Amino acid sequence: RGAVRANDIFVVRYDAEAGQPNLRVHTDSSHLSFNILLNDEFEGGGTRFHHRIDKSHIDIHPEVGETLLSHAMIFHEGLPTTKGTRYILVGFDSIDEKDPLTGESTNLSIFSSWLNFSWMQIRFHEGFEDGNKNRRKRNRAMAESAEVDGIGHWKDNRYATSLFRDLDNAMTWLCDKFAPFRTAQLVKTNDFDAYINVMDKAMEERTQKEQELGIRRSRASGYSSWFKGQNINLD
């Protein structure tokens, strides 16, 4: 749990009359993506997930309040809202070995990281993207005869970047071929309140136990990294 870090959380509006009614096929820049449907005063909409290999797709139409959680590298799109306005809360989450700001270990299991094809796929994709970005930065600096800090790492070498690209493509194919996505409803709609109550009770018991033992809340002790003190006004 402590390995989860929220990269970004925001509200998306799809409008059938004015603005953007849909979102084309894409992947997200994270390990996990989620969206929560916030209203039902619309027609159409939903999320379509695409299989890269057999070109089939699955359409998901959540109820208000339901969370749709998926691997961020699955091809997906926001289907057109044909009437009214559709609001969803979207979040991008990373699964970290170490906190990128503090360097604190998250105690992420090796089975959830370097022995997990989905996790490795994201790491190699990040290596490819970061290497390309830093090489472009270095080339601009050389053209301007300027010195730029933070470049020149071995991972920015064009051969390393090409290797990351090939490993990213290989992991993507392996995941698509041998671990195709499917859908599953983890919590039934009628059980929402009971589920939240059980989670709240478990958190209260955990907090009390940690206070008794003097355990500090941290990512190493299993607390995810979320935005603190942020509010979203939906009016």
Q: Position of tokens 């109550």? A: 197
Which uninterrupted H or E stretch holds 32? strand 32-37
- What pLDDT does 227 receive? 60
Per DSSP, 30 falls in state S
Cα 13 to chain center, whole Å? 19
| Phi-psi domain of 142 (left: phi exceeds 0; alpha: psi -120 through 50; beta: other) | alpha
What is the reported pLDDT for 198? 93
**Interacting residues of 59 by C-beta distance below 8 A, sequence separation 6+:** 46, 47, 48, 49, 79
For residues 48 and 76, the answer to whether their CB atoms sit within 8 Å is: yes
Strands 75-78 and 23-26: antiparallel
Which pLDDT tens digits describe the chain residue by residue (235 residues)? Answer: 788 988 888 999 999 998 899 999 999 989 999 999 999 999 999 999 999 999 999 999 999 989 999 999 999 999 999 999 999 999 999 999 998 888 889 999 999 999 998 899 999 998 888 888 887 887 777 777 655 555 556 667 788 888 999 999 999 999 999 888 888 988 888 898 999 999 999 989 998 999 999 988 888 888 887 765 555 555 5
DSSP 182: -
Tokens matching residue 119 = 């996790």
**DSSP 8-state class, residue 44:** E
